[in-house]
Structure 1
Amino acid sequence: MVASPYLILPGLGNSGPEHWQSLWQAELGCERLELPDWDAPRLSRWLYLAIEAIEQRPGVVLIAHSLGCILVAHVAAARPDLDIGGALLVAPADVDSRRHTPDRLGDFAPLPRVALPFPAVLVASRSDPHMDFAVAAGLAADWGARLVDAGAVGHINVVSGHGVWPEGRGLLADVTGGGPHRRAGAEDHPAP
């Protein structure tokens, strides 16, 4: 059996059945990083399992949401040699801020600030309760990721009204070469 070209990395609590990650998993045949401790994450355990999964899928494209984005950055910092085809990083969680994330995520702090050794698109919301837009923009710059300003759309999950999320599918196409590419750090703005 051939591995999927995509690996989904959900955040805290996993992504429920109506979350865009779950819908994409079914539609695209994506694989999901399965973790035993979705509600009590430990960086060492998540990092080990993510690295193991990526090693088994050379060239995989990572589709991360919230804490999953931070996991991707930790993977890149720990193992820049891994063969990762790219990453779509959506609504990262600010694990450095107790105002934005619960204390139980402190194990993931500090936010890694090293350049990602693969192409990436970071999608940030101006009204995300888990990350200030300015911090997300700084992360995109530090990571060498293309920043996409999604506007004031919450945490880009089911609660904020994002189901299938076709705009995200277009951004995934950008990461995988199926759409227009821009230089790392370039910023997109929402249409008026």
Structure 2
Amino acid sequence: MKISETDILLIPGYGKTLPGHWLLRWQDKMATARVVKQNELHQPTKKAWLETLVKDVEACKRPVVLVAHSLGCILVAHAAHALKGKIQGAYLVAPSDWDREGLVKEFDGGDFKPIPAHPLPFPAHVVASRNDPYCDYERAQGFAKTWGTTFQDAGEAGHINLESGHGPWPEGLMSFAHFMKKLG
């Protein structure tokens, strides 16, 4: 599947996505990509975020591929069955483990917990780091297994964000292109 023939929805995670983050850079590189803009970034609710995602998916004119980071990955898992038949695939980077107590001091995970443990109804790929402070590597492998996705070891890459040195993240873009090619 060609990137130019799809609508790529980029789904940020918890908090503000800072300029220079790979997700925003991808939006600049791909003419058919746009960020799903959630209203509440620091006290999100699953219902509000889900409604925004569904609305954005329904507005798409081409086949839809989701690219999510952190809490955005968990949103995709929650939204999967509501989006069944509309999504061609999902590329899930550094899922965060909101079932873990005290993950973020300011937010306890709210109604994003428990994290869904059922297969996704579309092809998906999880990319995880061995030293992500927001999700143990084995837990990320467990997400991939229960969601029925392929899995990629990103090495010791932190949370795959600006803080861990992943502004451009060219390896991720190459991995995403490979994922798109597998979608047909």
Q: How does 1:166-185 map to 2 (within 5 A)?
A: 166-177=170-181
Q: Does structure 1 residue 35 correspond to structure 2 residue 38? A: yes
SS of the residue corresponding to residue 35 of structure 1 reads coil
Q: Aligned with 2:162: secondary structure?
A: coil
**Residues 2-11 or 57-66, more deviating:** 2-11
The letter for the 2-side match of 1:125 is S
Q: Does the Cα contact within 8 Å between 1:96 and 1:106 map onto a contact in 2?
A: no
Percent identity reads: 42
Q: TM-score, normalised by structure 1?
A: 0.86
Report the RMSD for the aligned CA atoms in angstroms: 2.0
Gaps of 5+ in 1: 182-192
Would the alpha carbon gap of residues 43 and 3 (structure 1) be closer, same or farther in structure 2, given more than 3 Å must change? farther
Confirm or deny: 8 A CA contact 1:121 1:145 kept in the other structure. yes
Deviations 1:68-119 (A, max 9, x none): 0000001104x15241011110000101001434443232100111111111
Structure 1 residue 35: Cα displacement: 1.1
Aligned length: 178
CA shift for structure 1 position 40: 1.5
The reply on whether 1:49 has 2:52 as its aligned counterpart is yes
> Which residue of the other structure, out of 18, 21, 29, is the alignment partner of 2:20?
18
Gaps of 5+ in 2: none
Specify which of 90, 96, 103 is matched with residue 99 of structure 2: 96
CA distances 1:127-164 after superposition (whole Å, capped 9, x unpaired): 00000011100100111111101111100000000011
Distance 1:115 1:139 in 2: 9
Q: Which residue is 1:107 aligned to?
A: 111
| SS of residue in 2 equivalent to 1:6 | strand
**Preserved contact between residue 93 and residue 101 of structure 1 (Cα < 8 Å):** no
Decide whether the 8 Å contact of 1:88 with 1:171 is kept in 2.
Answer: no
Indicate the larger mover: 34-43 or 130-139.
Answer: 34-43
Distance 2:73 2:99 in 1: 14
Instruction: Give secondary structure in 1 for the equivalent of 2:140.
Output: helix
| Higher RCO by CA contacts (8 Å cutoff, separation 6 or greater) | 2
Q: 1:53 to 1:105 in 2, by over 3 A?
A: same
Equivalent position to 2:8, from 6, 9, 19 = 6
TM-score normalised according to structure 2 size: 0.89
